[in-house]
Structure 1
Amino acid sequence: MPPTQVQNYGPQFQGQNNQPQQPFFQYSQCNGRKKALCIGINYVGQSAELKGCINDAQNVQQFLCRQLGYKTEDIVMLTDDARNPRQIPTKENMLHAMEWLVRDAQPNDSLFFHYSGHGGQTKDLDGDEEDGFDEEIYPVDFQENGSIVDDDMHMIMVKPLPPGCRLTAILDCCHSGSALDLPYIYSTEGKIKEPNLAAEAGQGLLSAATSYARGDMGGVFKSVTGLLKTATGNQQKAEKYARATRTSPADVISFSGCKDTQTSADTVEAGRATGAMSYAFITVLTQQPQQTYQQLLVSLREVLRNKYSQKPQLSSSHPMDTSILFIA
């Protein structure tokens, strides 16, 4: 189980009145109030219609109540087949629901955010992204009212949380690796990933060549731009900026369906349309409810490895011990 005391990390610095201070966070014991927001968007009747996202939201709702002790009346559902206009996943409704989720949050509360739908990328404007692109999710009315970018989701759902409050996010969409802007990303060994500049540069060249071969000049530009950022050390600047501005004393973790550069599958499992990530998350925790964060990341990867190229990612708002038990 997570320790109850405040966790300090990083170098000390002089705060107000020249008092020594140190960055800190506090794990949640997840024994306070439980609230959840589940969003599933199939984009019915639109050109890029999906099949399994509404099922995902319903399946996660049932899983939360069955396995994790949530109550139906404390879960807000937004799906595009809803009869209540307030439960349609428009941009306005999604933003209001995110605000509801974190309102009056207290230490040891457990908040849960699940999104299944389309995801994408757009140009980063504030310098917190190593690849130069923000991640975004698409409400059902995105063509009229636009997307919701990761910067905004972070400001709404992460920034207001007090120390010791948990937010668990499950993001089942394309380009979702850092879609909540949490600055610490973990390997399957349970260690914080650091940018491997040589490998990143090689990958950038490979991506540019692949894009050129299939006539995707936008992809060529994006890959070469990423390569130049690597060469000039901009990625390290972005990482430092992200950790300086996106670290939180609250206990925020995210499991996302894929890396920022990857897509997430809308597929069929056990005869039902589903998102691959949502299916994997429910499956591995139903089969083995007690897993550490590292074990859970490995389990998710193993379920998806044989059929899908996407690699689920684990990220957090603070440096965490991935050998403690996952609770929500």
Structure 2
Amino acid sequence: MATTKLTLEELNRKLADPKLSEKELEQYFVVNEEKSGPFNPVLELNSATVQVPATAEGRARSAALLNSANFISRLRRQTQFHNRIGSGTYKGPVIVSEGDSWFQYPLRLLDVIDHLMKDYAIFSLDAAGDTLDNMLKQAEYMDAIEETGATIFLFSGGGNDVVAGGNLAAHLIDFDPALSPEAHLRPSFDTLLNDAIGAYSKLVRQVAQAFPHIHILCHGYDYTVPAKGQWLGKPMEKRGIVRRDFQQAIARVMIDRFNGRLASLQHSAARLHYIDCRGTVTNKQWFDELHPIDEGYGKVAARFSKVINSLVPQPKDAPVQARTARAGRARAVAGANEGGLKARSRATPMSAKAAEGPAGMSLHIGLNSVDPAHYGGWDGLLTACEFDAGDMADIAKSLGYRTTTLMTDQATRKAVIDEIRKTAKELKAGDIFFLSYSGHGGQVPDFNGDEEDATDETWCLFDGQLIDDELYQLWSEFSAGVRVLVLSDSCHSGSVVRMMQAEGLLAEDGAPTTPAATPRVMPVAVASRTFRQNREFYRELGSSLTNVESSIVSREMTSPVTSSVRLISGCQDNQLSLDGIGNGAFTSALIATWDHGRFKRNYEAFHRAIQMKMPPTQTPNHWTIGATNAVFNAQTPFAI
């Protein structure tokens, strides 16, 4: 017997009926694969169950109904939320969710949130097709969390980036049977993921700072199955990658790399719970290349539910009046969101420490002079180094670092080394150490053969020089996953490597040729006298370093440094860092660029912005050693 088709008016009434589940409405819609985007399914009416008049007006009414699919799903969910909260019987946590089509696949599939809403009150802001950048820009979740009093925030994003926004072929090389699956991904793919994790990091930090008690739950999707679709299978075939097992191996690498970055972000974020969903959905539980079927989504939801339940104490009865008031706040934010109200501006600096987040420790060294007894009668008088250290300490304190300062005669070799070693023992994965140095740079002969120019570069501490090889050895004492940020406002600091005679700025005896241009460099004659006077000390120090495990002194190729060390220095190898009245030239430009925390971009952009404020004779450098840390690369300067 033929099935009676619904008219558009009848379908509209069903959509508006909150008593009907989306499962009951599923039969009236199908997915248009050609028009769909990644994580953005486009629906059309099912001609087998819905009667669409073959007129221009009928087609227009049909299009209007379909265009409102996301809005209808959101409205239905929010009505369910209000009803549950307002009933006075709900005893679970209040939750806000923001995400893509894994959190809202409208009307056609029961997604993660559909399953979770059976047990929890969830204020859903999810929208199929929403991107990370758009979610961060709109920031609807900020008002929703505040107004509902939510204690848990669920987030799903980044899937569009994992499949390169539909342009995956551009990030693959042509098939080569001699290469592994991972070797078929171009470096540009990792750049996409790094950009995504940068946006992720900003969103997580924004929420954690504004709401000290909220827990954030996120995921990295599951191993997708390429199936001749336009997001995975066809782009791979375009590159000659046609074997299904090889395609699937590449897809696994893509998902693994994204999940690895999320796992790293969890270590350096406050109250972030990364849920590893890999291996949850079986190969037979996929609706298409990117989305599980109802059963697969249910298994993912179960993983979320397990974490939610671990975060929520056993529920207790709450007064109906309080729950009704909370429902009223939720309705208020719903109305604001529907009206297009933007999230309110919050003044907390993005780099500031969030409650229960990773630890931040800092050490700030400033030497306006050195001990003439060690440096051959030279006192190395400078003006602004202590000011630099104090200003860096002020920035660190304002962001929540536990700070230590060592000024001039306090900054001995033992004090500096002991402080760094003490910090290395205390910090763990996800934590950060911020070290700033302002003073003279120096040079001694290279005894362990690791320098091409046969010299080791140094920081001129009060009672002796600290050699660059010693710093490398100290970095190796930090645990894997620790971030180390070093700011060095001294000469030879481009990579703490070479020395160049300062023509036009410094006379042979070390006196500046102009009063306003005092470089932070130990003059050649002084360096020679200092070494000859302390020959045995530096020989013994250099010889001891030759006995250090060779992997330490061979540096980046076989370095044992498992932390991530970032240096932003005052100048290039062949330039000089200039002193000043209030601050050194580099530190002054850095403080102006930081602008009391208003600078919101990453370290590379920070370095470029500082360069723009510097004279052409002094160009700051930026480099890293140790383990690559995509989260560190993407963070705003000084972020804990």
Match of 2:440 among 109, 113, 118: 118
Distance in 2 (alpha carbons) for counterparts of 1:64 and 1:289: 15
C-alpha contact (below 8 Å) 1:258/1:310 kept by paired residues: yes
1:11 counterpart residue number: none
Q: 1:284 aligns with which of 593, 616, 622?
A: 593
The corresponding residue for 1:99 is 421
1:80 aligned onto 2:80? no
What whole-Å deviation, never above 9, does each CA across 1:139-176 have from its counterpart, x for those lacking one?
A: 122xxxx31101111212x1012221111111111111
| Percent of aligned pairs sharing the same letter | 26
CA distance in 1, matches of 2:587, 2:455: 25
Shift of 1:120: 1.4
Contact 2:491–2:577 (Cα < 8 Å) also in 1: yes
Separation (CA, whole Å) in 2 of partners of 1:44 and 1:131? 26
Cα distance change of structure 1 residues 247 and 264 upon mapping to structure 2, 3 Å threshold:
farther
Quote how far apart the aligned CAs of 1:241 are.
3.8
Mapped to 2, the partners of 1:176 and 1:251 lie a distance apart of 18
- Alignment TM-score, normalising by the size of structure 1: 0.63
Query: Is the Cα–Cα contact under 8 Å of residues 63 and 282 in structure 1 kept in the other structure?
Result: no
Tell me by how many angstroms 1:242 deviates: 2.9
Counterpart of 1:42 in structure 2: which amino acid?
Answer: N
Hey, what does 1:29 align to over in structure 2? 268
Which residue number corresponds to residue 394 of structure 2?
62
CA deviation after TM superposition for structure 1 residue 250, in Å: 1.5
In terms of mean alpha carbon deviation, does 308-317 or 167-176 score higher? 308-317
Aligned to 1:294, the other structure's residue is in SS state: helix
| Alignment partner, residue 634 of structure 2 | 324
Task: Tell me how far 1:327 sits from its aligned partner.
Answer: 4.2
Change (3 A) 1:320 1:312: farther
Q: Give the match for residue 51 of structure 1.
A: 383
Following TM superposition, by how much is the alpha carbon of 1:323 offset from its aligned partner in structure 2, in angstroms? 6.7
> What secondary structure does 1:95 align onto?
helix
Unpaired stretches in structure 2, ≥5 consecutive residues: 1-196, 202-218, 220-259, 270-356, 372-377, 510-523, 526-552
Task: Report if aligned partners of 2:362, 2:433 keep a CA contact under 8 Å in 1.
Answer: yes
> Which string of whole-angstrom CA distances, capped at 9 and with x for unpartnered residues, describes residues 21-71 of structure 1?
xxx9967626411111011110179542000011111111111122x332x
What amino acid sits opposite 1:242 in the alignment?
R
2:411 aligned counterpart, secondary structure? coil
The 1:139/1:317 distance shift into structure 2, 3 A limit, reads same
Q: Residues 133, 320 of structure 1: CA spacing in aligned structure 2 closer, same or farther, 3 A cutoff?
A: farther
Instruction: Write out per-residue CA displacement over residues 300-320 of structure 1, whole angstroms, 9 at most, x where no aligned residue.
Output: 111113xx6121111111456
Alpha-carbon distance in structure 2 between the residues aligned to 1:242 and 1:323: 20
Residue identity matched to 1:244: M
- Provide the secondary structure at the position in 1 that maps to 2:443: strand
Over 3 Å counting, the alpha-carbon distance change for 1:109 and 1:215 in structure 2 is closer
Task: Give the conservation status (yes or no) of the 8 Å contact 1:122–1:134.
Answer: yes
Distance 1:301 1:125 in 2: 34
Matched with 2:561 is 248
1:58 and 1:327 map into 2 onto residues whose CA distance is 18
Which protein has the larger Cα radius of gyration, Structure 1 or Structure 2? 2
* Contact 1:35/1:75 (8 A) holds in 2: yes
For the residue of structure 1 that corresponds to 2:361, the secondary structure is: strand
State whether residues 247 and 317 of structure 1, in contact with CA within 8 Å, keep that contact through their aligned partners in structure 2.
no
Where does residue 315 of structure 1 map in the other structure? Answer: 623
Query: Match of 1:135?
Result: 457
Task: Give the secondary-structure state (helix, strand or coil) at the position aligned to 1:138.
Answer: strand
1:260: Cα distance to partner?
2.5
For residue 472 of structure 2, what is the aligned residue in structure 1? 154
Choose from 548, 561, 577 the match for 1:264.
577
Which structure carries more helix by proportion? 2
The amino acid that maps onto 2:400 is: G
The match for 2:584 is 275
Q: Counterparts of 1:172-321 in structure 2 under 5 Å? A: 172-179=489-496, 241-246=554-559, 248-268=561-581, 273-286=582-595, 288-305=598-615, 309-318=617-626
Gap change, CA 1:101 and 1:275, over 3 Å in 2:
farther
Cα pair distance change 1:241/1:313, threshold 3 Å: same
Q: Which runs of 5+ in 1 are unaligned?
A: 6-23, 82-87, 182-206, 220-239
Q: Deviations over 1:259-294 (max 9, x none)?
A: 2232110013xxxx2112222222211264212222
- Cα–Cα, structure 1 residues 92 and 241, in superposed 2: closer, same or farther, change >3 Å? closer
Secondary structure class of the residue paired with 1:147: strand
- Code of the aligned partner of 1:151: D
**CA RMSD of superposed structures (Å):** 3.5
Cα distance in structure 2, aligned partners of 1:77 and 1:245:
33
Query: 4+ runs of 1 displaced by more than 6 Å?
Result: none
Q: Secondary structure at the match of 1:65?
A: helix
Q: 1:261 to 1:127 in 2, by over 3 A?
A: farther
Indicate if the aligned counterparts of 2:393 and 2:404 stay in contact, CA closer than 8 A.
no
Q: Looking at both structures, which has the greater relative contact order when contacts are Cα pairs under 8 Å and sequence separation is at least 6?
A: 1
Cα distance change on mapping 1:302 and 1:100 into 2, 3 Å: same
